[in-house]
Amino acid sequence: MGPPHTPPDRSYIYFAIVQVGALRRFVLRRLLFAVIAILGATIIVFSLSRMGGDPRYFFAGQSGYGISEERWDSLGVEMGLDKPVPVQYFLWLGDILRGDFGNSITTQAPVIDVIGQRVGATGKLALVAWVFGTAIGVPLGILSAVKRGSSVDYVIRIFALFGQGFPTFFLGIVLILIFSVHFRIFPVGTIGEGFSFKHYVLPAITLGWLPAAAYLRLTRSAMLEVLETEYVKLARAKGVTRTVVIWKHALRNALIVPLTLSAFVLVGFINGAVVAETIFSWPGLGRLAIATIQDNDFPVISVLVLFTSVLYVGVVFLLDMLYLVMDPRIRYT
Partner 1 sequence: MAVEREHSASEDRILVSAGDEHTARSFGEQIYRIAARTAYILKRWPVIPGIILFLLLFGAAFAPLLEPFDPLNVDLRERNSPPSWFTDGSEKYFLGGDPVGRDILSRIIESTRITVAVVFFSITVGIVSGTALGLISGYFGGVIDEVIMRIVDIWAALPYLLIILTIVVVFGQSFTVLIGSLALLSWPGAVRLVRAEALRVREADYVMSAKVTGASGLRIMWKHIMPQTFHIVIVTATLGTGTLILTEATLSFLGAGVPAPHPSWGAMAADGREYLRDAWWISVIPGTAIILVVMAGNFMGDWLRDRLDPTLRQL
155 binds partner 1 (CB under 8 A): no
In angstroms, rounded to a whole number, what is the distance separating the alpha carbons of residues 18 and 1? 21
- Distance in Å, CB of 58 to partner 1, minimum: 9
In angstroms, rounded to a whole number, what is the distance separating the alpha carbons of residues 127 and 135? 12
Residue of 274, 282, 319, 320 that binds partner 1 (CB under 8 A): 274
The one-letter code for the residue type at 299 is: P
Residue of 19, 74, 107, 164 that binds partner 1 (CB under 8 A): 164
- Please list, in sequence order, all residues whose beta carbon lies within 8 angstroms of the beta carbon of residue 127, skipping any fewer than 6 positions away: none
309 binds partner 1 (CB under 8 A): yes
45 binds partner 1 (CB under 8 A): yes
- Distance in Å, CB of 309 to partner 1, minimum: 5
290 binds partner 1 (CB under 8 A): yes
**Integer-rounded Cα radius of gyration of the chain:** 25
120 binds partner 1 (CB under 8 A): no
271 binds partner 1 (CB under 8 A): yes
Q: Which of residues 172-201 bind partner 1 (CB under 8 A)?
A: 173-174, 176-177, 181
Residue of 159, 169, 179, 332 that binds partner 1 (CB under 8 A): 169
In angstroms, rounded to a whole number, what is the distance separating the alpha carbons of residues 290 and 277? 10
In angstroms, rounded to a whole number, what is the distance separating the alpha carbons of residues 53 and 250? 57
CB atoms within 10 A of CB 172: 24
Supply the angle between the helices 298-326 and 256-280 in degrees, to the nearest 10. 160
**DSSP H or E stretch at residue 265:** helix 256-280
Q: Provide the binding-site residues for partner 1, judged by CB under 8 A.
A: 33, 36-37, 40-41, 44-45, 48-49, 51-52, 161-162, 164-170, 173-174, 176-177, 181, 267, 270-271, 274-275, 278-279, 289-290, 292-294, 296, 298, 301-302, 304-305, 308-309, 312-313, 316
